[in-house]
Amino acid sequence: MFHSNLYTGKTKAPKDIAIQTTARVFLIFLSFIFMITSGCVKKETPKKVSLKKKSVEKVGEVDYPLQDTLWFGFDLRLDPKEDFRTYIPLLKYLEGATDRRFRIKFSEKYEDTVEDLGKGVTHFAFVGTLGYIIGEAKYGIKYLVSGVKPGVSELYPSIIIAYNRSVDSRTVETVRAALLAFEPLGKHKNILNDWDKTEMPMGFTKINELELEKVKALARNYGLIENVRAGFKPAPTK
């Protein structure tokens, strides 16, 4: 088993060695991407977008109780209008499936998305695998579901939806069930815009969280978690 090989020094089977080698390469790649994106983007005020607005340029007053609103965090990848056009249909679907209100909070920097989630500014957020591991170690964020993308292993998903630990269990399970029932290639295809360009073109799945422990173990081996707990911040890229 993975953990026994990692900590007891028992002889590893070729299959286990191959899995660990693949995981190490994957983790190193994620670390590199995380450091690059951490340093290259200028910090700006995140944009808050109303579900009832057709543009992201102007946001009016919230017309429903703020305490009943669930905020979903995203980091900007494309033009804000394009991101809005892509993700709003998902949140409208969630509103219909859960009978809850959702709003988007975009962040200019990837690490701000993780920080906002950890500090409770948002309730749910899309984060990468490494971002999730760091956010869990630093803030105690929780795993909800993983995005499904062709050619990407479920063990090392390109995107994870995580939630703040203060979100009540009923809300967590309701949102999780709605996401797992989301069918972007089936009955929900016609409500979506450019969903094939996202990191979850085939929808969502829930993996065994024990599998994530394998990735966390590698992160510990590389000192990533300890660096985060010690307040380490990647050096800016010049």
- Tens of pLDDT, residues 124-134: 999 988 889 88
- The per-residue pLDDT for range 213-230, each reduced to its tens digit, is 877 777 777 776 665 555
pLDDT at 66 over 50: yes
E strand or H helix at 48: strand 48-49
Q: Is residue 82 a part of any domain in this protein?
A: yes
Percentage, residues of the chain above pLDDT 90:
42
Cβ atoms within 10 Å, residue 72:
24
Q: Is residue 39 a part of any domain in this protein?
A: yes
Higher pLDDT among residues 34 and 140, named by residue: 140
Q: Is residue 156 a part of any domain in this protein?
A: yes
Q: Give the mean pLDDT of 199-205.
A: 94
Sign of the alpha-carbon dihedral angle for 184, 187, 188, 194: positive
Q: Return d(Cα 48, Cα 46) in angstroms, integer.
A: 7
E strand or H helix at 38: helix 14-40
Q: Give the mean pLDDT of 139-145.
A: 95
Higher pLDDT among residues 172 and 13, named by residue: 172
Name the domain count of the chain. 1
pTM over 0.85: no
pLDDT at 166 over 60: yes
Q: Return d(Cα 4, Cα 9) in angstroms, integer.
A: 7
pLDDT at 37 over 50: no
* Contacting residues for 135 by C-beta, under 8 A, at least 6 apart: 114, 117, 118, 127, 141, 162
Q: What is the pLDDT of residue 236?
A: 39
Q: Is residue 236 a part of any domain in this protein?
A: no
Residues forming a β-bridge with 84: none
The torsion region of residue 105 among left (phi > 0), alpha (psi -120 to 50) and beta comes to: beta
Higher pLDDT among residues 180 and 151, named by residue: 180
**Average model confidence (pLDDT) for the chain?**
75
Q: Is residue 238 a part of any domain in this protein?
A: no
Are 160 and 132 contacting, i.e. CB atoms less than 8 angstroms apart?
Answer: yes
pLDDT at 34 over 60: no
Cβ atoms within 10 Å, residue 168:
8
Q: Is residue 37 a part of any domain in this protein?
A: yes
Q: Determine the distance from the C-alpha atom of residue 180 to the mean position of all C-alpha atoms in its chain, rounded to a whole number.
A: 15
Q: Return d(Cα 79, Cα 87) in angstroms, integer.
A: 12
The CATH code of the domain that includes 89 is 3.40.190.10
Residue 108's domain comprises 2-57+65-229
Q: Is residue 222 a part of any domain in this protein?
A: yes
Least Cα distance to 74 among 58, 63, 85 occurs for 85
pLDDT at 11 over 70: no
| pLDDT confidence bin for 99, thresholds 50/70/90 | very high
